[in-house]
A and B are shown apart, each in its own frame.
Chain A
Amino acid sequence: MNSSPDTMTRTAIDQLEGYSMNAGRSDSAATRGHHVSAVVPAVRPVVTATSSSRLEQTVKFQTKSLDFFYGDNQVLFNVSLDVPEKSVTALIGPSGCGKSTFLRTLNRMNDIIEGTRHTGDVLLEGTDVYAPQIDVVLLRKRVGMVFQKSTPFPKSIFDNVAYGPRVAGLKNRLRLAGIVEESLKRAALWDEVKDRLNKSAMALSGGQQQRLCIARTLATNPDVILMDEPASALDPASTARVEDLIFELKQNYTIVIVTHNMQQAARVSQQTAFFFQGELVETGDTRRLFTNPTQKQTEDYITGRFG
């Protein structure tokens, strides 16, 4: 029931934190099927039509004719997109075209906005995330999200990173400390903050705050990370660090990133989807899309004729 490459990284954490020492394996095995099955769908290998270079790739997320409405205002029209596993998918398009909205349908963040509705399907590993039996709390834990504006909680650095595991029910300080360290290391922030974990996160620089938010997301142990213009408020140096980080992370996580910056999309992503006025105009291998767009609108956009 779990995707195999995933196990590798998890085991790494396990060893680091000594989970295997922990008793209660049999309990876990018993509960596993019962509570989790609805949320963690089985993996179905799907041949992605978009990436011709890789022969067969597992699809992590899939939307099928997705329409989305804020009240009566429809902002997404018939969007069908496959997001391959363990790669970076970039969403580009002029502002207001619905990129953020699309991203937020993937982890149901739009649920908390009054008066929104959708039609069509959003499938995570083949299971509709909007199905009634889906627990949205678990879904969001598995599908993490990083926002444009860094949003550290007004707490210490440690408490920020430990937030997710804590609300999920982890109380053991040692294990928390292990997760915090591991997450900060993966977010390439550990060396900068290891001496001041108990200081307020608000005192960090903008770039550090954003990496902290990434670390905070990693701490909840997601498989997918959604990033909504994560570097657009950062200076070039910090942007470069975040980009490097995304490049690293794609080995273990499926990443969907919204970006305004086409160079960034070209640098970090394998697949790119171009949105225009709520429609998915074109999607495909990043290099192909930037060098040889099939649609006129895409070409206009990437050559800077509008947007």
Chain B
Amino acid sequence: MSSASTSSMPLASTGASLCRTLSVQRLKEGLIRTGLFACAGVSILTTFGIVAVLFSNAVYDLSPASTSVNGQVQHNAAFFQQVSIREFVTETRWTPQFSEKHFGILPLVCGTLLVSGIAALIGIPIGLCSAIYLSEYSSPRIRAIIKPVLEVLAGIPTVVYGYFALVFVTPYVLRPFFHDLLGFDVSLFNAASAGIVVGVMIIPMISSLSEDVLRSVPRSLREAAYALGSTRFDVSTRVVVPAALSGIIASFLLAIARAMGETMAVTIAAGQMANVTANPFHSVATMTSYIVNVSLGDTEIGSIEEKSIYAVGLTLFLITLSMNIVSQFVLRRFREVYQ
């Protein structure tokens, strides 16, 4: 090595130009970086905005103390500043639009549960079975055809599903079968038709999420099961599905949360009768359809009726958020197990 000779040579004066200098270039880089950071911050702001709006209108009013409408000084008060949480939770009537007002969320929650329950009854078995079919049975070619078609199902606007429920499912499926044949009283607007189409709507979600989960079960487990003398049914139901169970359940949770937040199909097909019922052929109001129906009418801004949609919205938000968080947590844990 020629260390001696290098040290004897004079140092080239490149050192200075490598130093950080405040140039236009650097300034531009910094600005761009800040701008991009701000873009990323928009999503945080959105969350913050959602929480603030729901909180401010439902729980505790944060807006400037008073506003003048028609010259009057009006004090804003959030929903729960006017209605006790106790009434909200325990009352069984929901009649903010009537003169005798009751604010019990139960009928709306009940309607939401009824519709999403029916949706789950339709969507979960079909979604899981098609996930199993796609991951365990179908050839890559068939899979390449079926998957995009299922995605089309997911891309259809929800008003279209509502239309289909009202114009086809109720008159051509529910009425002939349950009314004419079995003698049930099927109203024009009913929870069943809405639940059925919402169930179809969540099939693609369940099947694609569950398929991902099933596929991440290592091939070696399947081979081990086959080597023990399993049929494909044994492999699917006794090894693959149990191994993927937590992930599958997480996908169900996500889909049910989606069904609960589904709005237009339910508004169109399920009607707007806020009552506590388990009869799928009755008209029900869900949390989402109530919000839409209030928005469609002329409600005075600041009235308790207008505020009530935020209380309902907050309830919906909290329910779906917690389901989402739980399922994401479960999915992350599941992925860690199988890398």
Contacts and interface: CB of A to CB of B under 8 A. Distances in A.
Q: Answer yes or no: A and B touching, Cβ < 8 Å.
A: yes
Interface of A: 107, 109, 112, 114, 137-142, 144-145, 147, 149, 151, 153-155, 163-164, 166-168, 213, 216-217, 220
Given A114-B140, A137-B229, A166-B238, 14 more contacts: A107-B227, A109-B226, A112-B223, A140-B226, A140-B229, A144-B228, A145-B224, A147-B224, A151-B220, A153-B221, A153-B225, A153-B243, A154-B242, A167-B234
B233 to A, nearest CB: 9
Nearest to B233: A167
Interface in B122-150: 139-140
Interface in B290-318: none
Residue among A109, A138, A141, A151 with max Cβ neighbours from chain B (10 Å):
A151
B230 A137 contact: yes
B243 A109 contact: no
* Interface residues of B, dominant DSSP: helix
Given A153-B239, A154-B243, A167 B224 contact: no
A40 B247 CA distance: 41
Interface in B226-273: 226-231, 234, 238-239, 242-243
6 contacts: A107-B227, A137-B231, A141-B229, A155-B242, A167-B238, A216-B228
Contact of B223 (A142, A151, A163): A151
Interface string B300-339: 0000000000000000000000000000000000000100
Contacts of B337: 154
Contact of B229 (A112, A155, A164): A164
Nearest to A145: B227
Nearest to A146: B227
Contacts of A153: 221, 224-225, 239, 242-243
Contacts of A107: 227
A109 B225 contact: no
Given A155-B242, A167-B238, A220 B229 contact: yes
A177 B161 CA distance: 53
A87 B238 CA distance: 33
Nearest to B229: A141
B-side interface size class: 20 to 34
Residue among A107, A140, A213 with max Cβ neighbours from chain B (10 Å):
A140
Nearest to B220: A151
Nearest to B238: A167
Nearest to A139: B229
A138 B242 contact: no
Contacts of B222: 112
Contact of A151 (B139, B224, B238): B224
A241 to B, nearest CB: 20
B223 A140 contact: no
A302 B290 CA distance: 80
Contacts of A112: 222-223, 226
B226 A220 contact: no
Contacts of A141: 228-229
Interface in B183-219: 218
A166 B221 CA distance: 17
B221 A167 contact: no
Contacts of A155: 242
B225 to A, nearest CB: 7
B334 to A, nearest CB: 11
A110 to B, nearest CB: 10
B221 A168 contact: no
Interface in B100-141: 139-140
A107 B242 CA distance: 25
Contact of A149 (B220, B225, B238, B243): B220
B227 A167 contact: no
A140 B232 CA distance: 13
A69 B271 CA distance: 62
